Amino acid sequence: MSVRTLNLLRVVVFLPCLATANELPAASNLLQNAGFESGQDQPDGWRTFSPSPRSAQGSRGYLWDERKSHSGRHSVCVQSRVGGLGMWQQVVEVEPGRVYQFSGYLAFERVSPRSRCGLQLVFRDANGRVLQFVNLPAHTGTREFALDFPAQLKVRAPAGAAQAEVNLLLAGVGKVWFDDLFFGPAPTGTIAGKVTSNGKPLPDVRVFIWGDPWGKRCEARTDADGRYRLTDVPVAFPRYIVLAEKDGYRTRPVGDVAVVADGTRTVNFELAPGDDPDDLRVKFGTLSLRQFTPPGRIPAGAVIPRDASGYPEKVRPYLQPDEYIESDHPAVVAQARELVETLPVTDRRDTRKVVWVIYEWVSKHIEHDGVYSEPPRGLNQPFRDVTSGIWQSISGEGWCWGRNFYDWCYRPHELLQTRAGICIEHAWLVSAMLRSLNIPARAAIGALEFWAQDAKGRGAWVHLSTTGGRTNFRQRGQLGIGFGGAPPEVRYSILSRPILHEDWNAKNKGLWRERHPWGERYEATERGYQRAKADLKRFAVTGQAPRGTLSRRPGRPPRGEPQQDVWGLFDLAVQRLPRLPRPTDCYEIHYSDITINLLTMGDQRILDVRFPMTTERPGKRLEAETAYWTNHPECVRRTWVERITNPPAEGVERWFHIEFDLTSLLARGK
């Protein structure tokens, strides 16, 4: 395989799912014979291609296979035992600047670790000159047929594009099948409305979608009647953020904007005279002793009691439904019961088998909304889905829309509809499904623990992460990652509701973003403790988080804040972050970072921002060392620590509160 070929396959991109596997808009598919069902000696519309004789020799086999398919009678296959690059290919005409969707079903077998298989687009101009390569996430290992990638993955054809090569490729050793491909224009709609001030039409106002969706500015100016139209907006997650701005007036944002295919969504704005206030940024660090404890394991013969009374009192609070863990929602209950009914009747009280069937289904069908690519390209390139949860919350470019983090997240029943969410939303869904089946579950920040016990009531909390399961199933066909093992985070709420990185009491929905939380580690010695305390003290003054003596994160500078790249995202954390030589105790400073935009504060002046401290439980001990930094210390009114208990649940939950008086800050914007 050539160096050039390897470079084309290097970029790994993870895109979200919105539609289910059966919701592909086949009527707009530009591909001929997308299911490979018609043809004589080979499927109509498709050709095999190898870039060089050496690659052709290495690829060895192109099959129009009628023994294996996702649907119908046929699929196409590329196989090789000795390496090289081979592909099935079709060329279609495209319009420059238009957004297209691309997806297909893939199965692969024994694709070696140094090889790759997957889908690729190559955009060319009218003279055949290559304008852009777009590689969908690559695969190794063995996996059954699955949609890859979902129908809502989109890319904008570059300026000057006239054609797109749709390539189904194998680079290296292995065997891969392709079926039911889709490439076609993304459904679009319109956002339109009126901008007024004091009830009167306001002309020449810039109205725009935040973030330049799929790499193109989407904006319009209001006419003399204050009206605007944003056309050809791709249908995506219902999370577009639209803003109206004009010199001399306060910018007004509106979020949670959903676009309907071939329809119009009305979004009106009322602008008030004045200047925009500054954002409020708050950072928090808490020092604790992280003590290694062996991970919980499912006891032999673990069974699910017939009702809550069969559990120890200390775990019963984690059976209760709440606003976020919707274990009583009809959609959640129905999905969980449907999965359990696939098991033999004799296995439906077996804790391991019941939890596994939930874990397996979510890992296979609910995407991890981690839209990213490797540096130096940065987050979400070249796709830039500005409605992606990861892009909005931690990319440093996006904004979320909500009263707070809890308000922004998809609830479990919503995640079942969108079929893609961040790790937090995954944890809420799985916790809700398990509770609906009478299995105690407590959601952490991006993962969860479930309670498993034997017939005598002896039990343990066991770690679970379906984002780990989803990522590894998609990439390599593996499912075990994330089921059991040592949890990376031990902050669990002692209440039924989950715990998040931060919280605040905004009365109105508005814009916010966070820096992905991270930890800096130090030796579990007096010297390490003193070094950590000194770094925490420096952080309180400068807002900069010094690097811990045990921290070895790739892409991070030795001083200052972590770079805004993908080091904190789950995939790279699993695959790249080096582990300590052996499980060991260490001091850890856990950092959080939130930015709150104040454009929609209205008449609210007191804002309570809180951050979780360490929950007192085995494996984590509070050292009573905390620090915070803010870009507006003059607005800090007071701080305090909230202590929460919830008998009979074990442990003490603590939150550090910072109360801000925003009167002077908001007055500057008038």
Token couple for 663 = 């009167």
Task: Find the mean pLDDT for residues 392-398.
Answer: 88
Task: Find the mean pLDDT for residues 572-580.
Answer: 37
Structural domain contains residue 298: no
568 and 556 in a common domain: yes
391 and 324 in a common domain: yes
Give the residue with greater pLDDT, 369 vs 586: 586
- DSSP category for residue 409: S
443 and 527 in a common domain: no
14 and 132 in a common domain: yes
The answer to whether residues 466 and 349 touch, using CB atoms and an 8 Å cutoff, is: no
Interatomic CA distance for residues 161 and 127, integer angstroms = 10
516 and 464 in a common domain: no
Output b/e per residue, 373-393; b: 16+ Cβ within 10 A: bbeeebbbebbbbbbbbbbbb
pLDDT(574) > 70: no
Q: What is the pTM of this model?
A: 0.89
196 and 173 in a common domain: no
458 and 319 in a common domain: yes
Which residues have CB under 8 Å from 483's CB, separation 6+? 356, 359, 464, 469
Domain range enclosing 203? 188-270
| Residue 347 half-sphere exposure toward CB, CA atoms < 13 A | 12
Output b/e per residue, 479-505; b: 16+ Cβ within 10 A: bebbbbbebbbbbbbbbbbbbbbbbbe
Using one digit for the tens of pLDDT, what is the confidence trace for 315-369? Answer: 999 999 999 999 999 999 999 999 999 999 999 999 999 999 999 999 999 988 8
pLDDT(622) > 60: no
- Greatest mean pLDDT among 4-8, 33-37, 52-56: 33-37
pLDDT(605) > 80: yes
556 and 426 in a common domain: no
Token couple for 518 = 């991270």
Interatomic CA distance for residues 300 and 327, integer angstroms = 27
Interatomic CA distance for residues 543 and 538, integer angstroms = 8
Task: Find the mean pLDDT for residues 442-460.
Answer: 92
385 and 344 in a common domain: yes
468 and 387 in a common domain: yes
Structural domain contains residue 490: no
Interatomic CA distance for residues 433 and 421, integer angstroms = 16
Share of the chain above pLDDT 70, in %: 85
Using one digit for the tens of pLDDT, what is the confidence trace for 255-297? Answer: 999 999 999 999 999 999 999 999 999 999 999 888 777 788 9
Number of domains the chain is built from: 4
Choosing from 163, 184, 205, the residue where a domain stops is: 184
